[in-house]
Amino acid sequence: MGSGASEWSSKLSGNEVELLLSWYASQGRQLPWRETNDPYRIWVTETLLQQTRIRQAEARIHRFLERFPTLQALAESLVEAVLQIWQGLGYYQRAHNLHRAAQQLYQRGGFAALKGLADLGRLPGVGPYTARAIWSFSGRGAALPIDGNLVRVLSRYFADETPANQRSRFQAQADALPLYWQRREVAFALMDLAQLVCTPKRPRCLLCPLQQSCNALQLGAPERFPIRSPKSPKPTRYFQLLWYANAEAVWLEQRPSRGLWGGLWSPPLQEIAEPRPQPPDLQHELTHFRLVGYLIPTSEPPLATFPIRWEELSQYQLPAPIRQLLTHKAEGRRGLPSPEHRHINP
């Protein structure tokens, strides 16, 4: 593992960028969000693309920018409107952060008031990658934003044995590259190289414009990079979902803006230490843990819940697994007790 931020530069021969950009001109992808230098549109796009496949995100980006075409429109909106557009994408904290950051930024005078990357990085939800992407792709300055795809390409190109999860080390190395490596076109080319050629498995090295100077290929071991640290198994967390419903409605609460499913609607959740002695009603893989849930019938509506008519559920922002659960329950709602019965069977 390297110790200095100049190690990558020492392995450059000088014509890599020219070869890379020539390849990009003929083989690169044409993506609509690359045709703008508007920092607001770039910021929204990069945020929506996080943890989301391009095909899934593309239509949502269009819808989001149609609904909130400017920073002012987003800042002056209600967070519920943002969550409505976001529904189904998961990682809802991104939506809350985007909304809060838009409000802060608009109050300060917009992107023109920002003095540099450090200012961008102080906004809620704007990390090292997003800050550099906004800065570079909008033409404000030179920066090479490092995401997982660029970790793969650059770790192979430089045969860098830094573990892939040490993203800050990769970013430090990228920040020390010559400025001609930190142009937005270079970042776009490297991203496309990662998707089309330098793939995680069976990279197409013979099609790579950088094959003559790729250190991992010279070692005969491109797939050895990036170095992967052993993954720890996800912990399992158990929850009770307090359940009250009848043939007309189900009682839900709006969750706090921070934390699990922030701002969305669901039956009240109570975390428990151990699994219950019954089959779970809900199982879902989240980023950092596996959620297992059990419906617990109640004889009265839980505190802070509101009745939502079954046919109106589509108007509310629900986490995907809760929507799936309620859809299943809605199919059998005619068999539920009538409203005057207080005890509700699951």
Active-site residue set: 46
What distances in angstroms separate CA 174 from CA 9, 156, 198, one per listed residue? 9, 14, 18
Nearest-angstrom CA–CA distance, 222 and 243: 52
Cβ(294)–Cβ(280) below 8 Å: yes
In one-letter notation, the amino acid at residue 320 is A
Q: Which among 296, 293, 273, 272 is positioned nearest to 282, based on CA atoms? A: 293
Strand bridging mode 236-243 / 290-297: parallel
How long is the chain?
Answer: 346
Q: Which residues contact 55 (CB under 8 A, 6 or more apart)?
A: none
Nearest-angstrom CA–CA distance, 346 and 329: 9
Instruction: Return the DSSP state at 266.
Output: E
